[in-house]
Amino acid sequence: MAEVPRDIENLIEMMAKLPGLGPRSARRAVLHLIRKRGLLLTPLADAMHAVAASARECITCGNIGTTEVCEICTSEKRATGEICVVEDVADLWAMERSGTFKGRYHVLGGTLSALDAVGPEDLRIPKLVQRIGDENVSEVILALNATVDGQTTAHYIAEELEGRCEVTSLAQGVPIGGELDYLDDGTITAALRARKRV
Contact residues for its own copies, defined by CB under 8 A: 1-5, 7-8, 10-11, 14-15, 17-21, 25, 27-34, 37, 40-52, 54-55, 63-66, 70-72, 88-90, 93, 96-97
- Check if the beta carbon of residue 22 is closer than 8 Å to that of residue 12: no
Tell me the closest approach of the beta carbon of residue 115 to its own copies, in angstroms.
20
Q: How many CA atoms lie within 13 A of 144 on its CB side?
A: 26
- Check if the beta carbon of residue 81 is closer than 8 Å to that of residue 139: yes
Name the phi and psi angles at 60, rounded to 5: -85, -55
- By C-beta, is 41 or 158 nearer to its own copies? 41
Tell me the closest approach of the beta carbon of residue 55 to its own copies, in angstroms.
5
Tell me the closest approach of the beta carbon of residue 133 to its own copies, in angstroms.
25
- By C-beta, is 101 or 156 nearer to its own copies? 101
Tell me the closest approach of the beta carbon of residue 124 to its own copies, in angstroms.
14
C-alpha distances (whole Å) from 150 to each of 66, 111, 153 are: 28, 6, 5
- By C-beta, is 71 or 166 nearer to its own copies? 71
- By C-beta, is 33 or 161 nearer to its own copies? 33
Number of C-beta neighbours around residue 78 at 10 A: 15
Alpha carbon 43 to its chain's center: 27
